A and B are shown apart, each in its own frame.
Chain A
Amino acid sequence: MRRPSIGALGLATIPFVAMCFSVALWDRVQPMILGLPFNLFWLTLWVVLTPCCMWVVYRLESTHTRAADDS
């Protein structure tokens, strides 16, 4: 199978770092933002930001695919 580009893989690791690996940094109650404890706010924020990240990945991969098809 054709491998995804490094750029796409790199961008896709951002949500994994933000929502999973960095848990020790954001798992706290204060500061409460928009009425939510910080950890719940952080995760909800990234539920919204993840599609933005993935949209860029999608654009990168579709040009990557087209370039591969042309060559």
Chain B
Amino acid sequence: MTAAAIALTVMVAIVAIGPAIGFLAGSRRRMDLEQWTVGGRGFGTVLVFLLMAGEVYTTFAFLGLSGWAYSRGGPALYGLAYLSLAYVASFFFLPQLWELGRKHGIQTQPDFFNTVYRNPYLAGFVCVVGILAFVPYIQLQLAGIGIIVSVASFGHIGRVAAMSVGTILLVAFVFANGVRAVAWVSVVKDFLMLIAAIAIGVGIPLAYFGGIGAAFTALARARPEHLVMPGATTNLGHSWYISTVLLTSLGFYMWPHAFGATFTARSADTLRRNAVLLPIYSLTLALMFFAGFAVVLILPHLRNGDLGLLTVASRTFPPWFLGVTGGAGALTAMVPAAILLLTAATLFAKNLYRPLFAPAMSDDRVARLARAMVVVLGATSLGLAIHGASTLVSLLLTGYAMVTQCFPGVVLGLYWKRVTGTGVLIGMMAGVLIAVVLMSTHLDPIVGLNAGFVALCINFAVTIAGSLATRASTAAVLAELI
């Protein structure tokens, strides 16, 4: 057997184990809307924790951060800071959100906006923003699958073919099982990913330089400027770092799937304890930096930095281990992509289409519409992934610039009595519009700041001004709520 055949066989076997567990997990239950989307609300703490962890360990962490450490250098460090800070920030609004959710049966982000602001247009807009922000996020995962399969096949399988097969598998997987399968595949994936992360993060510096310290000493001598900001870029300096860390740490729980997962927790205290402990989880991300920086000296002239980590792995490790890494990596892309597809499709059918266009629609028909949306969104993201040339990290930052615009509405809704639905709606519209305009005209970063962060600041200002200018209806509503 050739090296490519061995690597691919191992990889396919690993990717197949996941869905097999998923099919077993799902086959004994009848699939209605509730069961398909929230697992019938019967998830224990462990399963919820695994689901949440599965969302953190995406292709972004595995290939994206190491890719940016390689191609951009210092600015990639934002990835290590923002996760910890996202949990710190969450301590002050997730438990409150959970309390509100329990009292009023809130399940999704649009539900929250509907409950607090009593404004269906605002809830609809939040829904649209969430779905739009998901598109680059799903695109990121599909691009990751393309990279992994083409490197693991030693270039025999093209990127486009790999992404297409990956998308078909993904849609079939989501179709057949819904969320329960995803949670169990997550277990397999996290375990394999940890092995791969340690082997790569420690193994590559060890094999080429004799250790992590030696690798950094060599890099500090050869290219010290690469290790600090702005690294290999001209415009990603300290102000960019601060604005990006703030944007992404405040936006982390604004992703509709993360927001929704909050309500599956058993108590508000569980969320507080999670906020204390989860930062530790990002420690393994440091391993991705070790590998990414080491690749700078090993393979200095790669065209696409996101390929760096796996390309070195394919030259360093035996083919079977490359297969294990590739399999873990592929699951790491597919699990979050499945969660994202499922959340986006359900949001569209249940929170956007039904309330606005067909209030009389039955649950079964909503479930069918959601499945159709899985196909539509999968195909859209695949199309964008085939034609797109952005780095994985840039894709995620694009999503964050959109999704974080929900933050003012959430945090002011919890803590400021004078805030109004109209104020939040015009603030969000201003924020989204500015983010889209700045990014599509390549004005990101602008005056050294992350464009999404600039949009967020304007969003806050407009929301506050707009709320003061309109009648305070929320105060009465909130008094009633609590």
How big is the B interface, by class?
35 or more
Q: How far is the CA of A44 from the CA of B85 in the complex (A)?
A: 13
Closest to A20 in B: B245
Encode A32-53 as 1/0 by CB contact (under 8 A) with B: 1011110110011011101101
B289 within 8 A of A: yes
Encode B264-301 as 1/0 by CB contact (under 8 A) with A: 00000100110111011011001001000000000000
Interface contact A40-B77, CB-CB below 8 Å? yes
Within 8 A of B (CB), among A26-71: 27-30, 32, 34-37, 39-40, 43-44, 46-48, 50-51, 53-55, 57-58, 61-62
Interface contact A35-B277, CB-CB below 8 Å? no
Q: A35-B214, A50-B279, A54-B88 are in contact. Are A27 and B81 (CB under 8 A)?
A: no
Within 8 A of A (CB), among B21-63: none
Q: How far is the CA of A54 from the CA of B241 in the complex (A)?
A: 23
Which residues of B sit under 8 angstroms from A61, Cβ to Cβ? 91, 272
Q: How far is the CA of A4 from the CA of B388 in the complex (A)?
A: 44
Q: A54-B276, A61-B272 are in contact. Are A48 and B245 (CB under 8 A)?
A: no
Q: A19-B81, A27-B228, A40-B289 are in contact. Are A58 and B216 (CB under 8 A)?
A: no
Which residues of B sit under 8 angstroms from A20, Cβ to Cβ? 81, 85, 241-242, 245-246, 249
B470 within 8 A of A: no
Which residues of A sit under 8 angstroms from B216, Cβ to Cβ? 32, 35-37, 40
Which residues of A sit under 8 angstroms from B96, Cβ to Cβ? 1-2
B326 within 8 A of A: no
Q: A23-B238, A37-B227, A51-B279 are in contact. Are A43 and B414 (CB under 8 A)?
A: no
Which residues of B sit under 8 angstroms from A32, Cβ to Cβ? 213, 216-217, 220
| B481–chain A nearest beta-carbon distance, Å | 9
Encode B68-86 as 1/0 by CB contact (under 8 A) with A: 0000001001001100110
- Interface SS majority for chain B: helix
Q: How far is the CA of A21 from the CA of B242 in the complex (A)?
A: 6
Q: A1-B414, A4-B92, A34-B213 are in contact. Are A47 and B286 (CB under 8 A)?
A: yes
Interface contact B91-A47, CB-CB below 8 Å? no
| A36–chain B nearest beta-carbon distance, Å | 6
Closest to B93 in A: A1
Which residues of B sit under 8 angstroms from A16, Cβ to Cβ? 85, 88
Which residues of B sit under 8 angstroms from A35, Cβ to Cβ? 211-214, 216-217
- Most chain A beta-carbon neighbours within 10 Å: one of B74, B81, B99, B100: B81
Interface contact B88-A50, CB-CB below 8 Å? yes
| A57–chain B nearest beta-carbon distance, Å | 7
Closest to B482 in A: A1
| B411–chain A nearest beta-carbon distance, Å | 10
Which of these, A12, A40, A48, contacts B91 with CB under 8 Å? Answer: A12
Q: How far is the CA of A12 from the CA of B85 in the complex (A)?
A: 9
Which of these, A23, A28, A40, A47, contacts B282 with CB under 8 Å? Answer: A47
Q: How far is the CA of A40 from the CA of B280 in the complex (A)?
A: 16
Which residues of A sit under 8 angstroms from B289, Cβ to Cβ? 40
Interface contact B224-A47, CB-CB below 8 Å? no
| B229–chain A nearest beta-carbon distance, Å | 6
Which residues of B sit under 8 angstroms from A51, Cβ to Cβ? 276-277, 279-280
Closest to B95 in A: A61
| A32–chain B nearest beta-carbon distance, Å | 6
Encode B162-192 as 1/0 by CB contact (under 8 A) with A: 0000000000000000000000000000000
Closest to B413 in A: A1
Encode B441-482 as 1/0 by CB contact (under 8 A) with A: 000000000000000000000000000000000000000001
Q: A27-B229, A35-B211, A35-B213 are in contact. List 5 more A-B contacts (CB 8 A).
A: A20-B245, A20-B246, A21-B242, A35-B214, A47-B80
Top 10 nearest A-B pairs by Cβ distance?
A35-B213, A54-B276, A19-B81, A50-B279, A20-B245, A43-B80, A50-B84, A1-B414, A37-B227, A1-B96
27 contacts between A and B (CB under 8 A): A1-B99, A4-B92, A12-B88, A19-B245, A20-B242, A20-B246, A21-B242, A27-B77, A27-B228, A35-B212, A35-B214, A35-B216, A36-B213, A37-B216, A39-B74, A39-B227, A43-B77, A43-B81, A44-B80, A44-B283, A47-B286, A50-B85, A50-B279, A51-B280, A54-B91, A58-B272, A61-B272
- List B residues at the A interface (Cβ < 8 Å): 74, 77, 80-81, 84-85, 87-89, 91-92, 96, 99-100, 211-214, 216-217, 220, 224, 227-229, 238, 241-242, 245-246, 249, 269, 272-273, 275-277, 279-280, 282-283, 286, 289, 414-415, 482
